[in-house]
């Protein structure tokens, strides 16, 4: 479990109210008891040649390129809620950064806090296939109006 900024808000609230010490995010959701390995906000999880974290260290219009150039490693994150990919070839090979969107409800009602501001967010997720020596491929699965196609099968999230 990679902690994100929303999870950290809970930690910050607990820091301001120390009598709630048992309600820090990782304790409140009982990650250890559920068998999850925990990565605090800003820490990187590395699987093979790909790093993962929430994604808040670098931003800007081309935040994937910013991540890639500053970290110099393959990185995947979701903090910005949009879809981006950037690649660059270093002396030791090609590296890429992916912003993989989000699974958030995009309706105006659920985003009233944005004050009707339009955003660049996209519903999507990633599938990562790993090979020998930590190599991998990334497949970004876009979700449009609650539907996607995966391996030739329509998945309709609107079905009841």
High-pLDDT (> 90) share of the chain, %: 82
pLDDT of 155 strictly over 80: yes
pLDDT digits (tens, 9 = 90+) for 24-37: 999 999 999 999 99
pTM over 0.85: yes
Q: Characterize 51-63 residue by residue with b for buried, 16 or more Cβ atoms within 10 angstroms of its Cβ, and e for exposed.
A: bbbbbebbeeeeb
pLDDT of amino acid 92: 86
pLDDT of amino acid 159: 74
Name the pairing type of β-strands 75-77 and 50-52. Answer: parallel
Q: Which of 4, 101, 85 is nearest to 50 (CA)?
A: 85
Tokens 């009233």 locate to 112
Q: List the domain boundaries for the chain.
A: 44-156
Instruction: Write the DSSP symbol of residue 26.
Output: H
Instruction: Output phi, psi for 27, to 5 deg.
Output: -80, -40
pLDDT of amino acid 59: 93
pLDDT of amino acid 107: 84
**Which residues, at least 6 apart from 12, have a Cβ–Cβ distance to it below 8 Å?**
none
pLDDT of amino acid 119: 84
pLDDT digits (tens, 9 = 90+) for 50-71: 999 999 999 999 999 999 999 9
Q: Characterize 64-89 residue by residue with b for buried, 16 or more Cβ atoms within 10 angstroms of its Cβ, and e for exposed.
A: bbbbbeebebbbbbbbbbbbbebeee
pLDDT of 43 strictly over 90: yes
pLDDT digits (tens, 9 = 90+) for 99-147: 999 998 888 888 888 887 888 899 999 999 999 999 999 999 999 999 9
pLDDT of amino acid 160: 67
């Amino acid at each position: 479990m990679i902690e994100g900024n929303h999870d950290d808000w809970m930690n910050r609230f607990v820091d301001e109210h120390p009598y709630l010490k048992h309600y820090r995010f990782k304790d409140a959701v009982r990650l250890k008891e559920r068998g999850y390995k925990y990565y605090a906000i800003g820490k990187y999880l590395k699987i093979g040649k790909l790093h993962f974290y929430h994604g808040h260290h670098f931003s800007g219009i081309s935040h994937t390129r910013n991540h890639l150039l500053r970290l110099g490693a393959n990185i995947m994150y979701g903090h910005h809620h949009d879809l981006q990919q950037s690649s660059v070839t270093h002396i030791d090979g090609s590296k890429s950064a992916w912003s993989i969107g989000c699974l958030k409800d995009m309706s105006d009602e659920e985003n009233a806090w944005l004050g009707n501001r339009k955003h660049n967010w996209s519903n999507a997720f990633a599938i990562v296939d790993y090979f020998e020596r930590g190599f991998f491929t990334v497949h970004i699965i876009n979700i449009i109006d609650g539907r996607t196609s995966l391996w030739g099968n329509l998945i309709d999230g609107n079905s009841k």
